[in-house]
A and B are shown apart, each in its own frame.
Chain A
Amino acid sequence: MKQKIAVKVDDLTVAYNYKPVLWDIDLEIPEGVLMAIVGPNGAGKSTLIKAILGILKPIAGSVSIYEKPYEKQRSLVAYVPQKGSVDWDFPTTALDVVMMGTYGSLGWIKRPGQKEKKAALEALEKVGMLPFKSRQISQLSGGQQQRIFLARALVQDASIYFMDEPFQGVDATTEIAIINILKELRKAGKTVIVVHHDLQTVPEYFDWVTFLNVKKIATGPVKDIFNDDNLTKTYGINYKVSIQE
């Protein structure tokens, strides 16, 4: 069976101040996978996502989403940035943050209305945050803030979800709640790409994995390539994880 390719990255090189942080990345992400991007700190995991989404400009290479440039496919893509990348003291409520997910489909100038509000409330319900809809975002716990971000991505009703460390600083209950939602997304045929840190949970959570350390080390099904050999190549030290059957 030939799977459709959701995201294709060709010869992508990204540099900060002329120092490359991603070297010549080629990557094909098949439709419908739940993929982890793993690698040590500074491996360029977040950079890869940001370059795919056009937030950072690569110095070489190209990216396509379902065979078209990202700019033409924005509506198919949802993005969950790192929780720490925003100021949670910003004067706004949980519901309002989720509503921001609808701005993309609205385009410039047009304002969100009842339809958008309804979609946002549904997304809040899905992540179990409906009772907190009117709460100011700084009054939410870390896990709740992460759920709000997830709801904001859900409201975009995209085909491909990019998430930058969604499990960072959340408690175990929230982590399970989030992974369950991600698995549901995959079941619905969506493609989910997650920057992930906890190697122990990779086999349990994901079915696809990309090893990254400035260069791409390997990419493929977890059961085939998530092994000590690739981990050692990526992390540079002799890494051993026991994969429980």
Chain B
Amino acid sequence: MSNAQIEIQLIASLVAIACAIPGTFLVLRKMAMISDAISHSILPGIVVGFFITQDLNSPLLILLAALTGVITVVLVERIQKTGLVKEDTAIGLVFPALFSIGVIMIAKNANDVHLDVDAVLLGELAFAPFDRLFISGTDVGPKSLWIIGSILVITVGLLIAFFKELKVSTFDAGLAASLGFSPALIHYGLMTVSSVTTVGAFDAVGAILVVALMIAPAASAYLLTTDLKKMLGLAIVFGVLSAISGYWFAHWLDASIAGSITTMLGVLFLLVYLFAPSKGLIAVMYREKQQRIEVSLLTFLLHLKNHNEETERHVNHLNEHINWQKVRSKTVLDLALKNNMIVIDNKIVSLTEKGDEFTSQAIDYIITNEDAQIEDMKDDFFLFRG
């Protein structure tokens, strides 16, 4: 690997981490679309900042552009508060307006501004190593690396300091307010961090990839864990994994790095969506199938419990009599036999003591919906896991 290659992967990885942190909270706050709005509407901020500073990497430009991001959020909230349109509509109204102002500003000044719309949307990660930072004449590395590195340090610092506040205001804003943690302050803090991260990242990776890096890793992590800290950790791992694999995918295809990283993010989410152990599509389908079998089993056991006459308990009769709901009767009979709930004697089915007790408990649970007494059954039967 050449130096430039390592630098590109390093920048992409740092961007991924810096995006995953605010992204996790945006996903939990159901504000994923806000990151899309911010990433587009900071464009006029960048252009104005560039007119003033003449330097795409100036901290002043980053702050100016981030301010546009926060203004976007305020505008969206203002429009939404009128009650005339819903939040998604408000987002759809605000960010194209701001973005188009930026596009016109670039077009009007195209000759003397080193900035074009393609770069804004897709970024120029491949060129990032060429723009270097010199401190008193010494080359200390690509400017983007320093910018995103500084933003990341600040983000991580804020996350560690205010983790508890972020958590409580995201979960229960009412409680946070009553405890004295202003949810508005935390909200705008998060919006500021998201905006700064977006501006810092998008010179390297472009407006679209920034959104993908904020949302996709967090959304994938959400399907895999029930712990906020683990969700943050997984989102970071997913972001970095996609950044590095995306880089090599692009290298192999000789295609856009930003596009390849986004593709990897999509592939990763798809895999998690399909194979996540409890929330994944396959797990859910398997669970539903098991539940169908268990419902049939219970219907069957209950029938046995309610009928003592041998005619009602004959195997052939059971086959016809009970509506097996898409489940083969043999599956149910086997399951009941395997669990020692029934005995079949001369084609007459009878409940065992265990089966009898199980049926009573299960029916009791379904009627009272009280969990406590069936805790030990939850491991064996999906039906009782709510």
> Which residues of A pack against B, CB within 8 Å?
17, 50, 53-55, 71, 74, 77, 79, 81, 85-87, 90-93, 97, 100, 103-104, 106-109, 111-112, 131, 136, 138-139, 141, 144, 152, 171, 173
Contact = CB atoms under 8 A, between A and B. Distances in A.
Given A53-B178, A109-B162, A111-B164, A92 B83 contact: no
A79 B175 contact: yes
B177 A92 contact: no
Contacts of A74: 178-180
A119 B273 CA distance: 38
A50 B183 CA distance: 14
Contacts of A112: 164
Interface stretch (B103-111, B112-120, B224-232, B237-245): B224-232
Contact of A92 (B161, B163, B178, B228): B228
A152 to B, nearest CB: 8
Given A55-B177, A112-B164, 9 more contacts: A50-B174, A55-B178, A79-B174, A90-B228, A91-B230, A91-B231, A97-B171, A107-B180, A108-B162
Interface stretch (B142-150, B324-332, B369-377): B369-377
6 contacts: A54-B178, A79-B174, A100-B175, A104-B179, A108-B165, A171-B369
Interface string B296-321: 00000000000000000000000000
Interface of B: prevailing SS: helix
A104 B386 CA distance: 33
B174 A90 contact: no
Contacts of A50: 174
Contacts of A92: 167, 171, 226-228
B175 A81 contact: yes
A228 B16 CA distance: 64
Interface in B327-386: 368-371, 375, 385-386
B284 interface: no
Contact of B174 (A85, A108, A109, A138): A85
B90 interface: no
A77 B167 CA distance: 21
Q: What band does the interface of chain B fall in when counting residues whose beta carbon is under 8 Å from A?
A: 20 to 34
A50 B176 CA distance: 12
Interface string B188-201: 00000000000000
Contact of A103 (B179, B222, B226, B371): B179
A100 B178 contact: no
A230 to B, nearest CB: 29
A18 to B, nearest CB: 11
Contacts of B228: 90-92
Contacts of A144: 371
Contact of B180 (A100, A104, A171, A173): A104
A119 B162 CA distance: 22
A142 to B, nearest CB: 9
B4 interface: no
A104 B182 CA distance: 12
Contacts of A91: 28, 222, 225-228, 230-231
Contacts of B165: 103, 108-109
Contacts of B226: 91-93, 136, 138
A50 B177 CA distance: 10
A108 B164 CA distance: 8
B282 to A, nearest CB: 20
Contacts of A79: 174-175, 178
A149 to B, nearest CB: 9
B172 interface: yes
A141 B175 contact: no
A109 B385 CA distance: 37
A131 B180 contact: no
A151 to B, nearest CB: 13
B133 interface: no
Given A74-B178, A81-B175, A100-B172, A139 B162 contact: no
B37 to A, nearest CB: 22
Contacts of A55: 174, 177-178
A180 to B, nearest CB: 17
B181 interface: yes
Contacts of B175: 79, 81, 100, 152
Nearest to B385: A139
Tell which of B164, B174, B385 has the most Cβ of chain A within 10 Å.
B174
Nearest to B180: A74
Contacts of B371: 141, 144
Nearest to A164: B174
Which among A100, A107, A138 has the greatest number of chain B C-beta atoms within 10 A?
Answer: A100
A100 B370 contact: no
B238 to A, nearest CB: 15
Nearest to B29: A87
A233 to B, nearest CB: 30
A87 to B, nearest CB: 7
Given A81-B175, A100-B175, A106-B164, A171 B181 contact: no
A52 to B, nearest CB: 10
B48 interface: no
A152 B386 CA distance: 24
A11 to B, nearest CB: 22
Interface string B65-107: 0000000000000000001000000000000000000000000
Contacts of B368: 171
